Amino acid sequence: MRTQVAIIGAGPAGLLLSHLLHLNGIVSVVLESRSRAEIEATIRAGVLEQGSMDILNDAGVGARMRAEGALHHGVEFAFGGRRHRIDLTELTGKAITVYPQHEVIIDLVAARLAAGGQILFETGEVALHDTDSARPSVAFVHKGEAQRIEADFVIGCDGFHGVSRPAIPTSLRQDFQRTYPFGWFGILVESAPSSNELIYAQHERGFALVSTRSPTVQRLYFQCDPKDHVDNWSDDRIWAELHGRLENDDGWKLNEGRFFQKGIIGMRSFVCAPMRAGRLFLAGDAAHIVPPTGAKGMNLAISDVKILAQALDDFYKKGSEAGLDGYSEAALKRIWRAEYFSWWMTRMLHTFADASPFERQVQRAELENVVASRAMSTALAENYVGAF
């Protein structure tokens, strides 16, 4: 099999890249280890920056996002018994949309298949070859048959545990990583929304977050031990913890309902640099991970492939490799800004077991400064909506 661009991974990064290339007349093949049903049913949260919304709209895949996504013009911070609203739109002229990642995947899969794009689901034994040459290839097994794709470029969009990043020799890359001493207990619950906007809560017992996914579904999180297990938490215990961390002195109450998903996720920051070796390029979670506090994961994937799609278009239409040569530097500039913001939000809102009394008071003072100072509120808002 021969194609111009071989893409490994059918997440938001791989699918959007394939679609952007298609719009520019560049042929690609996407390989995915899971089935279509599995990737479309894996429920994951999603907050889209204004720029990400614009990219999806410009690519013709934003209709359902506009119709079903929740457009938010502000966020709230709860601490010290009070809630404080930061008006994102008033401060930046931009907004965010809460639209889950799996819904973006559903939209992109439909668009690629409608355009005749090739997505090979349930592939296995994927191996990259000759990525330092002008003719790289990808070997894999599909429907029990060993196959190989020859391409001009291979793009690794296969996540943190995929095969693409390890294909870059450790002598050519540097990995930056921080693992946090806590995780998030995530819950999906059938109930009416408790809030029209996201609520980020800082509490002595730990962080908590309220996010509305639809008029009938809430997504809730609270800080926990990453080694804990969901079986240790009864519904009553979960509700008691959420009520204790989120409710305040103004009479606001968290709506309860039936839980239909529970899970614990670890928290880490990770960056691989550079994001290229020869004709192999990395995008999305294959190259970087951010803690979800800053709501940057899917946005960084979209930003990566927007840069990479333009660079590939310049290569095929103009014969220029400048964009490809500059891809890693351009992408990493955006990535490190998002890593900083996500780290800052995580540090400011979570409870650290080893924090001294002095550090806890400084943490509270920082939150109070953020909500009281227009300059600091603007800086937060600009980073949150991606106004750079």
Q: Percent helix, strand and coil across the chain, each rounded to 5? A: 40, 30, 30
Q: What's the token pair of residue 380? A: 């937060």
Q: Does domain 5-46+100-173+274-345 have CATH number 3.40.50.720?
A: no
Can you give the pTM of this predicted structure?
0.94
Decide: 367 and 77 in contact? Cβ < 8 Å.
Answer: yes
Question: What single-letter DSSP state applies at residue 172?
Answer: T
Q: What is the C-alpha to C-alpha distance for residues 233 and 326, in angstroms, rounded to an integer? A: 48
What pLDDT was estimated at residue 252? 87
Q: Which residue intervals of the chain bear CATH 3.50.50.60?
A: 5-46+100-173+274-345
Active site residues: 72, 200, 292, 296, 384
Q: Does domain 181-267+351-385 have CATH number 3.30.70.270?
A: no
pLDDT in tens, 168-212: 999 999 999 999 999 999 999 999 999 989 999 999 999 999 997
Q: Which residue intervals of the chain bear CATH 3.30.9.10?
A: 181-267+351-385
What pLDDT was estimated at residue 50? 92
Q: Is 387 exposed, middle or buried (0-12, 13-18, 19+ CB in 10 A)?
A: middle
Q: 108 vs 64, 117, 212, 338, CA distance in Å? A: 11, 11, 23, 24
What pLDDT was estimated at residue 388? 57
- The residue ranges of the chain whose pLDDT is under 50 are none
